[in-house]
Chain A
Amino acid sequence: MKIIDVEHVTKRFSDFMALDDISLSVPQGSVFGLLGPNGAGKTTLIRILMRISFPDQGRILFKGHPLASEDIYDMGYLPEERGLYKKMKTGEQAIYLAQLKGLEKAEAYKRLRAKFEQFGIMEWWNKPVEELSKGMQQKVQFITTILHKPSFLILDEPFSGFDPINANLLKDEIAQLKKEGTTIVLSTHNMASVEEICDHIALINRSRKILEGDIFEVKNRFKKNIMSVEVSRFSDELLERLDNQQFVVKYGPTNDYYTRFEIKIPDNRTTNEMLQLFMQYSEIHSFNEIMPTMNEIFIEQVENANQLSSHEE
């Protein structure tokens, strides 16, 4: 079940192409990482999803129907560049923003009191926003984004400006929302948090989508068949045999007791064959497959795509 389907969306600004025939699907209930270098077109896509801007071609489906203006009541958006009215009182302002998202005043008040308590900013309710620290302002912004309990949420760089403690608070909140069935699109350059909380990703580069899929499936697709084996002792014959069978080997001591091997399995060999050699000539301490990090995939895929397009030109 998809909550969002982007179908062949193209958006052209007067002097450049922002989105070039983008199609992607966000599965219901997923945390979806929308990745890409600066200027790739992520913000343009997000604005189209939020009906702030409209595509030149293509369309957006929300829960299977073409995205309509009432759907924004079921969506929440935390933009990357975000702010609040500086002079307006914090609580009053939060109520206003919640009302704009369709909540009744009394209901907004009730939910806000609870959230303000939870985030520990209750005492700032009657203070103008300009007296709040940046972190507290971020909290207020996050609260107003999720207060109307949208089923679809877009968070653009939500962790920027948060200290590690508050970042964790936010991660817990995201996990809780996911548990409640909210679909979350997370746009960020922080690949560590992508690994940690996303289960799907799409990678956009220079207005085109270059990668999309389940995060495990994507990693699998780009793994390089490199195994890591840690041994406590080994005979010199091991190196000879590995070399004979065309295994490419890097090794070095990890500490006083262990030596770590990184072995690339060639196409005509199997992992089992490699392990047999190790069993014969060494004492295996640990063994695992090295999976690429999202960071590596990001950099590699973007660089590849850029090389390709420069060849085209």
Chain B
Amino acid sequence: MTGLLLRRIASLVLTLLAVSALIFLVMDVLPGDPAAIMLGTSATPETLEALRRELGLDQPLVLRYLSWLAGVATGDLGMSYTYGVPVAGLIAERLVVTLPLAFLAILLSVAIAIPLGVASAARRNSVVDTAVGFLSQMFIAVPGFWVGLLLVLVFSVSFGWVPSGGFPGWQAGVLPALGALVLPAIALALPQAGVLTRVTRSAVIEVMNEDFVRTARAKGLPRRKALWRHAVPNALVPVVTILGLQFTFLIAGAVLVENVFNLPGLGRLALQALSQRDIIVMQDVVLFFAALVIVMNFLVDLSYLALDPRLRGRT
């Protein structure tokens, strides 16, 4: 158990190191000079030189990489070229929007998918099953940002229940902040709920066909109890795997949805930094995403141990 943990942590650090080198190289070969972008069409060569000096872009590649790495290791993520403030602060400001949004979306998609998936598995080939199948197809097929636009039209423009976008900040109170996140969370959650419903359905059906469920039923356990006591808990492993993967999709999908709802989240920061070639911000954000994915996968692995006692004895 401890050995497994240590090995996982070591591979985690190595992966991050490799990712950091990759990001740095990609950013470096990307066309576009941050200084030229910041100084516009009338900049003179001397001003470009002065700005490159100020941003440290006149240093050689390896030196820039090492100083970035050393900074990251000590918690100093550097200064944003365009904003002129520490990147760590920028990421922190955006996380308080993106993380709650992602968690809210996960909660919603689980709350939608598990009951639908189980119901549809329990009544295979019934009207319910067909309806759920149709619904989940639709959730998957319809793009999140479009759902977002539709939700804004209905709930903000027509009904006026929630603001059409933007984020008041948590200092404005929990309710207004959550209010601003509800529509984007729904827009993010629906496609994920579609996928999750189908996974849940097939996993439950598979388990229901297993011998031990048949045995339980043969011993006289009602179908309903067999479903909830045996089939659903055993179907959770694939569901949690997908959930872990989805978290990364959610963070990525947040870019579009944050744009539609004008939320100052991490996705918008990344997009803006990319278009302005705020390379240091790009590097930090991508590295952060990579770390998040790696940690998430790690947590999913750990959750298998909790969900499936058989795995605990191994390694």
Q: Do A and B bind each other?
A: no
Q: A interface vs B, CB < 8 Å? A: none
Interface residues, chain B, CB within 8 Å of chain A? none
